[in-house]
Amino acid sequence: MGVMAPLGLLLLTGALVSASARTPNVSLGEGQGAAAESDRPAIHFVPQLANGTVGLVGDPNGLLYDPVHKVYHQFFQWSVQHREVWGHVSSTDLVNWRQHPIALQSMNHGVYSGSGAILSDAARTPVLSFAVSTHMSIGLALPANRSDPDLAVWEVLPAPIIETTHCTGPPDKLCVIMTR
């Protein structure tokens, strides 16, 4: 089956899609379980767990370009064994993608919607922000090793950067009641 689309990255239904007919390091619908479904597009990115299962891929979060290492990073919501985590893939050309270990996970709550950015500091530090499953706080994560071009390990700051409160003050004061 030939692919007529131009090479590049397309975001389709919350998952990465490469317009390359056969891309190394990316499952393209071959194998076991959901990855082999006949209705799955032939060039649909499918993350794989070590045991070969897929889980449920949610929406993309935190598409970053790391200007230091010249690498693109895509983070995405991923339901793995009934836990919401952030999966992570990277590419130097937006065609060939490598899967990395889970980037963000919580022992107590799921990790949901969020974003990624590159700080304007001298190190051009990547940063991820995310909501926990209670939608009551926003967390922040930084790479554990900035010199790693894969940004394979992320460290979550110990305290949330935004936390909801119970409003007891006057109505003219800012009061965060829920985050989404």
**Mind telling me the catalytic residues?**
59
CB 35 within 8 Å of CB 48: yes
Q: Virtual CA dihedral for 130, 111, 89, 117, nearest 10 degrees?
A: 0
CA distance 54 to 88: 14
- Coil, strand or helix: which one is 118? strand
Within its chain, how far is the Cα of 157 from the centroid?
17
Q: Among 99, 116, 1, which Cα is nearest to 57's?
A: 99
CA distance 69 to 145: 13
For 129-164, the three-class secondary structure string (H helix, E strand, C coil) is EEEECCCCEEEEEEECCCCCCCCCCEEECCCCCEEC
Phi then psi for residue 36, to 5 deg, are -105, 5
